[in-house]
Homo-oligomer: A and B are copies of this chain.
């Protein structure tokens, strides 16, 4: 089953394992005429690169992207864009130990159950390095959306029990916080929490929030391909995500209709102007033009040095301490991955919905009758 593909019109396919030749992605269906260079993509990859703070793995990875096709004279051509990040050092670590047992919270057991065996080096295909392809493709999707005035902005909302105060949260703080939080006071407390967690040879989780502004109204499909359903799948396809909510989310369950409904006040450039936005910018699966807002829960990194009980491949019990350079928290590095998945979802929904009205089809056909 071809499960490494995402999207219908703007479609990507990622490939690569932690310890193979490298990782990469092929984008098929990107429109022609978008300015694109390796520098644009690299900027996104740098945001997920490890080794930048003490809260991420100290592994040094440059993660230099190469664009191998689909761009000519600085513009996308409409043909597949292949991008790769090659592994610089073929790490020679001895993986015979983890090859023998199933790490708790990891996909070791389930890969064996599915495929009969697995590339156990560094997690193989279930390694976090798989997200490099997503981020590179997400950078291209963001470039497309930016041409339309659409911005995708994600950040860390909480780390373990430390929660940002929306009142003290400013977008310009994101790059000032080593954890990509908008509330610098909460960020400092989260750092303390993480240092304590690391001392205990343990790990932490957190919550990421994402906001999309500038969406036109009318994007998304009304039944199974609801825009929120597609976002839910996209975000949940990121390894450590355990929860997703849109707008008022789980809170909506205990509200009354009169509290949760958003009153319409008017329209502006075809977009709904509403008194509140409990809907999170999507009604009946279709964007209403207001801010799209969702949250994702990220579990604590499963690799911890603390002693854990598990089993060997033959079923016999064993106590393990997973050594190595692991992230005590992956939330900050996952922020750009969530942005990427949101951007890929929106770009695809936009392109897939271009023929929803006959008048748009007519305009398209007319544009073909005009020579450049």
Contact = CB atoms under 8 A, between A and B. Distances in A.
A167 interface: no
Contacts of A200: 256, 258
Given A105-B283, A270-B371, A218 B114 contact: yes
A286 B79 CA distance: 13
A68 B15 contact: yes
A168 interface: no
Contacts of A363: 363-364, 367
A181 to B, nearest CB: 14
Nearest to A25: B26
Nearest to A304: B257
A304 to B, nearest CB: 4
Contacts of A285: 3, 107, 110, 237, 239
A10 B353 CA distance: 11
Nearest to A269: B369
A297 interface: yes
Contact of A111 (B16, B219, B254, B284): B284
Given A242-B245, A243-B243, A82 B254 contact: no
B358 A147 contact: yes
A3 B300 contact: no
A151 interface: no
Contacts of A332: none
A116 B79 CA distance: 12
A160 to B, nearest CB: 5
22 contacts: A1-B352, A2-B29, A4-B224, A13-B28, A15-B28, A17-B79, A21-B68, A29-B355, A77-B125, A78-B356, A79-B119, A107-B222, A107-B285, A110-B288, A113-B217, A114-B219, A147-B358, A200-B258, A204-B257, A216-B368, A253-B297, A255-B299
Interface residues of A, number: 178
A230 B224 CA distance: 11
B11 A355 contact: no
Contact of A236 (B10, B28, B161, B228): B228
B264 A311 contact: yes
Contact of A68 (B20, B72, B229): B20
Given A113-B286, A311-B267, A354 B354 contact: yes
Contact of A9 (B31, B104, B352): B352
Interface in A283-301: 283-289, 297-301
B4 A223 contact: yes
